[in-house]
Amino acid sequence: DQQVKQNSPSLSVQEGRISILNCDYTNSMFDYFLWYKKYPAEGPTFLISISSIKDKNEDGRFTVFLNKSAKHLSLHIVPSQPGDSAVYFCAAYMEYGNKLVFGAGTILRVKS
Amino acid sequence: DVKVTQSSRYLVKRTGEKVFLECVQDMDHENMFWYRQDPGLGLRLIYFSYDVKMKEKGDIPEGYSVSREKKERFSLILESASTNQTSMYLCASRLNYGYTFGSGTRLTVV
């Protein structure tokens, strides 16, 4: 039972344009949602998070939007840079249960 | 910054061998986790520990065990390695909902 789904395995974007990565979840009890970025042969690094009581969080070029009624969140990267090319994981955290649940990941390629 | 260190970046082991993957964190976090990452499956939780000598099964514990004798160290053990355990193994430690991951161990079982 996949509680967090990233339906796009990959995304290709031109440098300078917007990248939009999407994520859907099934459990309305999640308290926080997080995005992690992962380069090959490295561990995931935290990128940005959003509380379930918010609908938007912004940090520089990165913005996460949360639509609770649709159980959907998205990560916007503007402008996209070649160094943003990586695998992006959406994750959801529930304080009850002490677990972080990950999606399958989306490979982002930013072409220069 | 929290540092999570995994002792090996790459390992090659034979089928049937007992394999130990070591993880150390330096921030006195109580919670530590072992995940494996496979293409198309994301990160799946194998085991976690919320205190010394305490452990809980994650979503895919079969074929694995763990040991947490000291707060800073969390070991993953493959009792008898099999080829379907070839994967990237990631250790993490947690404060609140912020997880910090190690660099990962790429294990190949031949």
pLDDT at B2: 63
Does B97 score more than 80 pLDDT? Answer: no
**The three-state (H, E, C) secondary structure of chain A, written as one string:** CCCEECCCCEEEEECCCCEEEEEEECCCCCCEEEEEEECCCCCCEEEEEEECCCCEEEECCEEEEEECCCCEEEEEECCCCHHHCEEEEEEEEECCCCEEEECCCEEEEEEC
Q: How far apart are the first and last CA of chain A?
A: 38
Which residues are paired to A100 by β-bridges?
A93
Residue B9: left if φ>0, alpha if ψ -120 to 50, beta else—which one?
A: alpha
Which chain A residue lies closest to B101 (C-alpha atoms)?
A: A43
- Those residues whose C-beta lies under 8 Å from the C-beta of residue B25, and which sit 6 or more positions away, are B2, B3, B4, B5, B32, B72, B74, B93, B100
pLDDT tens per residue, range A46-94: 999 999 999 999 999 999 999 999 999 999 999 999 999 999 999 999 8
- CB atoms B97 and A93 under 8 Å: yes
B40-67 residue pLDDT tens: 888 999 999 999 989 999 999 999 999 9
Is B11 in CB contact (< 8 Å) with chain A?
no
For residue A23, pLDDT over 80 is answered with yes
Which residues of chain A approach chain B closer than 8 Å at the C-beta?
A: 4, 6, 9, 31-32, 34, 36, 41-46, 49, 89, 91, 93, 95, 98-105
